[in-house]
Amino acid sequence: MSITYLKKATLTSKSDANDVSDIVQNILDDIEAGGDAAALSYAARFDQYKGNVILTKEEIEAAIALVPDRLKRDIDFAHDNVKRFAEAQKTTLQDIEVEIIPGLVAGQKSIPVHTAGCYIPGGRYSHIASAIMTVTTARVAGCERIIACSPPRPEDGVAPAIVYAAYKSGADTIMAMGGVQGVAAMTFGLFDLPKANILVGPGNQFVAEAKRILFGRVGIDMIAGPTDSLILADKTADPKVIAVDLVSQAEHGYNSPVWLVTDSQMIAEEVMKHVPDLIDDLPELNRDNAAAAWRDYAEVILCDTKEEMARTSDRYAPEHLTVQAENLDWWRNRLTCYGSLFLGEETTVSYGDKASGTNHVLPTSGAASYTGGLSVHKYMKIVTWQQSTKEASKRIGEATARISRLEGMEGHARAADVRLAKYFPDEVFDLTVG
């Protein structure tokens, strides 16, 4: 078995990774030292916005009034789907307790973090769906405070549709601040806000780097790179549909990889024939992104068998994985590395990106080999507890004392010794090693 590259990428997601770390670190240091005033200074420089950072109730209501009713209904529909799926996910987290040995009971408890900071990209695009995905799941998880933060436009502020989506999804606070300064404000608890316990949501390379630097002081959903998508297709697939789906994901950005893996040379050649025309038909900004992504990052890979296709896909571990092939059950059971899986022509990554219910904040750059995407679980702390009777502590205490001494941790051993001596004063224990 072998694979053949009919189109090979000339660049990878790391090819143009600018060293933004120093820039971001300096901004974070300035804002941590300078507080609100420093954050406002960076906001004036980068956002060029002079309005309120924390939207008032009246400003939220005014923004919502600008959103057309049909768009509100679409946002409501998407929110309901994401909420329904998140609620179902939450039921998989069960508090448990089990008797380990007679008298020793241990348990697991799920506790939501207190404050979630949800970053919602603005800029060239209004990422309405990101507001729905991040805020809704935080609300379902049970976070007490949810801060939605989005870059304002210089004159208009945060896009009204983002305001409505964040409000509808359950945000307690909506911030008009973008980039590193927005991330810093949520992390450091500026503008009289509680410090965020976790930061979630997509962003540009500066936002991603800020989250990476701050990780540890605050939780994050993941370190994200450019979005990527892979399609697995056999001879039964429709090359026009495949081409449209590839282009739809390439428009995310000039460095957004898209990959086609197939065992049909005819399908591969037809798709490559369709793509240029589809790109040319896009609006200018979308066209430029998709053209660069297709030229520099896209790949078309021809395999001998479907098993080789599956192995290739698992090796790439794509953020989005689409299967347009026969025997979908086989693919669902076989594939192991992906952020989100789209089975059959009847669904598409665009559905998941916007409205179908699964979360669109997903692992990129191969991270799907070890992690999944954003879910209610990301906002939950899985903690453990234990409680013991005095009798049960006898055997535990003996084992703990001897293991601790073997490890050279005498203080640990004595924590067991003191309990054995107190609870069983008339017994003699051999707590030495050997």
Q: Strand, coil or helix: what is 3? A: strand
pLDDT in tens, 252-285: 999 999 999 999 999 999 999 999 999 999 999 8
Please say if 360 is a catalytic residue.
Answer: no
Token output for 159: 């896009």
Classify domain 21-221 at the CATH superfamily level: Nitrogenase molybdenum iron protein domain (3.40.50.1980)
Q: What's the CATH fold of domain 226-372?
A: Rossmann fold (3.40.50)
Q: 208 or 17, which is more confident? A: 208
Question: How many other CB atoms sit within 10 Å of the CB of residue 191?
Answer: 18
Q: From CA 200, how far away is CA 119, in angstroms rounded?
A: 6
Does residue 319 carry a catalytic annotation?
A: yes
Name the helix (H) or strand (E) containing 106. Answer: strand 104-112
Edge-to-edge strand list for the sheet holding 219-220:
173-176, 145-150, 115-119, 198-200, 219-220
Q: CA-CA distances (angstroms) from residue 415 to 47, 258, 421?
A: 56, 57, 10
75: closest CA among 170, 204, 182?
Answer: 170
Active-site pick, 79, 252, 274, 320: 320
Share of the chain above pLDDT 70, in %: 98
pLDDT of residue 14: 63
**E strands in 269-313:** 299-303
- pLDDT by residue (tens digit) across 370-402? 999 999 999 999 999 999 999 999 999 999 999
Contacts for 369-375: CB closer than 8 Å, 24+ residues apart: 369/314, 369/317, 369/337, 371/222, 372/339, 373/221, 373/222, 373/339, 373/340, 374/133, 374/134, 374/137, 374/200, 374/221, 374/222, 375/86, 375/89, 375/137
**What is the pLDDT at residue 20?**
87
Q: Please state the rounded mean pLDDT for residues 220-233.
A: 95
Closest CA to 377 of 120, 253, 125, 200: 200
For the chain, the structural domain boundaries read 21-221, 226-372, 389-434
Catalytic residue among 209, 274, 319, 360: 319
Task: Assess whether the region 21-221 and the region 226-372 belong to the same CATH fold.
Answer: yes
Residue 157 DSSP class: B
For the full predicted model, state whether its pTM sits above 0.75. yes
